[in-house]
Structure 1
Amino acid sequence: MNALSPARAPVWRSYLAETRAEALRTWRTPAFVLPTLLFPLVFYVLFALLLPGRWGNLDKPLYLLATYGVFGIMGPALFGFGVGVAVERQNGWLALRQVSPMPPGAYLFAKLCMSLGFGLLVVLLLSAAAVLAGEFNVDPLRWALLLGVLTIGSLPFCAIGLWIGSWARGEGAAAIVNVIFLPMAVLSGLWIPLQVFPEWLADSAVIWPAWHLAQIALAVVGQAEDVPVGWHAAVLALTSIGFLALAARRLGRED
């Protein structure tokens, strides 16, 4: 059949309608949109493009394009799920959705699309800044691969955010996310290379999923050698599965 059957068409319309509503709601929240888009861009322009200096044989603008790209996709994932789910759960919206005819997966699908969309927009803004500054030193194919890696790599942070949203209260969720988000970014070497930290602190970066994603991103753009991509990908996959399971268990108790 060339057309969708009547039984399936309403399901997809529900997914699309929920995604559209989530996008409109998010764009109408300046407190989320402006920090999400501008903080990574401002930091990248300042530390990668305006401040002089080199980090050994590293290409600083390219190195920070990869790591600030990780930083950029973390924010929408953690805050979109962590704060968004916490507020909507506390206000009773999740309970209301459970008794509505909306497909159960449409809610998470819409938030996932929002997180991925904002994350990709951040990376595009960083890349545009590098192009305008004449510091975009990456092959287009590598850049496209970087976009793909960052898109898939946002899933563990969506899972962590969902877990936070499953138990945190709405008014405290933003603070909890910040307590996790900012230390993870710094201690994963997203702002400055880990070589500047004490050895014991640099070695502890292995506990952060952001470090694992950053290693893959740096390998993609040629700023890291001999990276065990499979191991880093396995850690990120297990992180996603583990936190999704924890979130599902916690939300299941509230049914």
Structure 2
Amino acid sequence: MNTLPMFPARGAPSWLRLHALEAWYEFLRVLRTPAFALPTLCFPVVFYLVFAVLVPGDWGSVHKASYLLATYGAFGVMGPALFGFGVGLALERKQGLLELRRVSPMPASAYFLAKIAMSLAFALAVVGLLAAAGTGLGGVSLPAVAWLKLLAVLLLGTLPFCAIGLFIGTLAKGEAAVAIVNLVYLPLSLLGGLWLPLKVFPAAMQSLAVLLPSWHLGQMALGAVGQAEGVRFGLHAAALGVATVIFLVPAALRLQRE
């Protein structure tokens, strides 16, 4: 006699649902980690308030608050990408969680897309906080098109830094990744002209900036808010794309060999 199962079989979860859930859990995990969430959200805003609002100074034809909104926006979105991938992956490799995920039925793409989604979510929050500080205290006034262009530039600009973070995460072991990411993050920000305009540095340092993805992202952000003339968005976007490939390919190869 044929019998029906007590609990009917359920279909496999959809690809979209798997990825959405993994992204949501990754976001919650990072949000509940104060050592990551608080510096990521607060440092760019605090620096912006100090240098754009509290420190006096006339930058001539450049609107200081708008200029620093763009550059500190670039600085702010780099952090979640570098630390989320670099430190997160290194710690999960050390704890054996990466191997556990590999033997689970979860698609590998869900793991990496979840970290990208987390980086974008934190980047969006940072940009929102900077925009509130700029408009409320810095006197920033931009048309809607400029705001949308700035947001698009900064969110898409996280991708090469996700790749850099991923590469660091495949090299570093455990907590050492924090120091390595900082050794990459801070010089990229300073030498890329995100903290101070490049014109304050020696000419040799200014010429090296074109090799840094942080400089290209900063230039696109400045062009979006009208604080830099003659910005070649296509050229800068291509440079960021090349940087993404340069770090993504060896990171993928290293992960395959593990």
Bin for the TM-score computed over the shorter chain: over 0.9
1: CA distance, partners of 2:176 / 2:60: 42
1: CA distance, partners of 2:180 / 2:205: 22
Q: Which amino acid is 1:117 matched to?
A: A
Q: Which residue in 1 is equivalent to 2:76?
A: 72
Partner of 1:173: helix, strand, or coil?
A: helix
1: CA distance, partners of 2:142 / 2:207: 29
Work out whether 1:59 is the aligned partner of 2:68: no
Q: Which amino acid is 1:100 matched to?
A: S
1:178 to 174, 177, 182: 182
2: CA distance, partners of 1:112 / 1:159: 10
Cα deviation code 1:99-129 (max 9, x no counterpart):
1000110001110110011011101101101
Partner of 1:76: helix, strand, or coil?
A: helix
Q: Which residue in 2 is equivalent to 1:203?
A: 207
Pairwise CA distance, 1:9 = 4.4
Work out whether 1:107 is the aligned partner of 2:111: yes
Pairwise CA distance, 1:7 = 6.6
Q: Please say if residues 72 and 194 of structure 2, whose CA atoms lie closer than 8 Å, have aligned partners that are also in contact.
A: yes
Q: Which amino acid is 1:129 matched to?
A: A
Q: Which residue in 1 is equivalent to 2:233?
A: 229
Cα deviation code 1:36-58 (max 9, x no counterpart):
01100000001001111122311
Q: Please say if residues 147 and 225 of structure 2, whose CA atoms lie closer than 8 Å, have aligned partners that are also in contact.
A: yes
Q: Please say if residues 157 and 217 of structure 2, whose CA atoms lie closer than 8 Å, have aligned partners that are also in contact.
A: yes
Work out whether 1:154 is the aligned partner of 2:158: yes
Cα deviation code 1:35-85 (max 9, x no counterpart):
001100000001001111122311100000000000000000000000000
Q: Please say if residues 65 and 138 of structure 2, whose CA atoms lie closer than 8 Å, have aligned partners that are also in contact.
A: no
2: CA distance, partners of 1:197 / 1:16: 45
2: CA distance, partners of 1:58 / 1:108: 39
Pairwise CA distance, 1:8 = 7.3
C-alpha change, 1:8 and 1:205, in structure 2 (3 Å) is farther
2: CA distance, partners of 1:209 / 1:85: 22
Pairwise CA distance, 1:137 = 2.1
Q: Which amino acid is 2:126 matched to?
A: V
Q: Please say if residues 82 and 165 of structure 2, whose CA atoms lie closer than 8 Å, have aligned partners that are also in contact.
A: yes
Work out whether 1:242 is the aligned partner of 2:246: yes
1: CA distance, partners of 2:138 / 2:164: 36
Q: Please say if residues 150 and 225 of structure 2, whose CA atoms lie closer than 8 Å, have aligned partners that are also in contact.
A: yes
Work out whether 1:130 is the aligned partner of 2:139: no
Pairwise CA distance, 1:10 = 2.8
Pairwise CA distance, 1:228 = 2.0
Pairwise CA distance, 1:134 = 5.2
1: CA distance, partners of 2:58 / 2:106: 53
1:86 to 85, 90, 115: 90
Q: Which residue in 2 is equivalent to 1:10?
A: 14
The residue correspondences of 1:45-56 to structure 2 (distance < 5 A) are: 45-56=49-60
Pairwise CA distance, 1:33 = 0.6
Q: Which of structure 1's runs of 4+ aligned residues deviate more than 3 A?
A: 6-9
Unmatched runs of 5 consecutive residues or more in structure 1 = 1-5
2: CA distance, partners of 1:34 / 1:40: 11
2: CA distance, partners of 1:13 / 1:232: 35
Q: Which amino acid is 1:109 matched to?
A: L
Unmatched runs of 5 consecutive residues or more in structure 2 = 1-9
With the length of structure 2 as denominator, give the TM-score of the two structures: 0.94
